[in-house]
Amino acid sequence: MECTFTDLHTHILPGVDDGAKNMEKALEMLRMQKACGVDRVALTPHFYPLREEFQAFLEKRQLAYEALLPNWDRETMPELRLAAEVHYSPTLSELDMRRLTIGESNYLLLELSNTSFPAHIESILKAIQQQGIVPILAHVERCEYFMEEPDRLVQLVKLGAMAQVSTKAMVEKKRRKFVQVCLQKSVAQIVASDIHDLWEKKYLVGNVVSKANEKMITRAEEFAKAVWDNVLPPAYTVDPVKRTLFGYR
């Protein structure tokens, strides 16, 4: 496979969340990314609007980034962009969300609850979009309600959200089929690692490419690169995903 990859969801920024514990680990994770063909990495530490003050989060993130930069090496590490994985909150649209987008682009990585379908999600998505921002729903395969009722995800994507699936799920028996079908039907468009630690090396984007999924990952990279470049994604049509007795179709 010739293309290089863009990883839009990582917890590599050291010491700010449950990701890289220290600078050494962060630098090693960046070298691992580059070594498996990932040339562009968004740093997306968790932000929980209901638990943490907005300005405090921005300052903490900025300090960690400024500490990382002098150690960054152009030859052995990917290009970086500052971003966040923003936990869903009904008060989100009151914030200056541009500060949380991927490299201050028009794309925001938005994390929903794993267990309960968020109330008022449609109106919050709309409020985000009214700020000119496209929400990218993070690791949708982890949301039980989407696995149970894929049409809930289909409807949100039809409203203009995009969806990200995790590399780990592409090789995991329990979620693989769901993720594949979502990518095939353009219900999900982006594949990212959500890497938190060194042991997850096998789940980096460049390391999960196989003959079986190469086309899918190449297509997902076109979307990820469009987000990175802050341009419109390739045209796509969202088709329904159905849950069946044996999986998804």
Binding residues (CB under 5 A) for Fe ion: these are 85, 194
Residue nearest to Fe ion (CB): 194
Q: Which is nearer to Fe ion, 40 or 168 (CB)?
A: 168
Q: Supply the minimum distance, in Å, between the C-beta of residue 18 and Fe ion.
A: 9
Question: 111 or 185: whose CB is closer to Fe ion?
Answer: 111
Question: Closest distance between Fe ion and the C-beta of residue 20, in Å?
Answer: 12
* Cα–Cα dist 183/238, whole Å: 10
| 193 closest CA partner among 72, 14, 16, 19 | 19
By residue count, the chain amounts to 249
Please, which residue, 85 or 221, has the CB nearer to Fe ion?
A: 85
Dist. CA 181–CA 241, nearest whole Å: 7
Nearer to Fe ion, 137 or 185 (CB): 137
Task: Give the 3-state secondary structure of 102-170.
Answer: HHHCCEEEEECCCCCCCCCHHHHHHHHHHCCCEEEECCHHHCHHHHHCHHHHHHHHHCCCEEEEEHHHH
Nearer to Fe ion, 153 or 185 (CB): 153
CA–CA gap between residue 158 and residue 171 (Å, rounded) = 27
Distance CA 21, CA 138 (A): 22
Which CB sits closer to Fe ion, 134 or 195? 195
Q: How far is the CB of 180 from Fe ion (least distance, A)?
A: 21
Closest CA to 124 of 139, 111, 106, 105: 111
Q: How far apart are CA 68 and CA 165, in angstroms?
A: 27
Choice between 185 and 204, CB closer to Fe ion: 204
CB of 192 to Fe ion, least distance (A): 9
The distance of closest approach from Cβ of residue 4 to Fe ion in the complex, given in angstroms and rounded to an integer, is 22
Of the candidates 51, 143, 47, 138, the one whose C-alpha atom is nearest the C-alpha of residue 97 is 47
CB of 190 to Fe ion, least distance (A): 13
Instruction: Compute the least distance from the CB of residue 112 to Fe ion, in Å.
Output: 12
Count Cβ atoms below 10 Å from residue 178 Cβ, excluding itself.
24
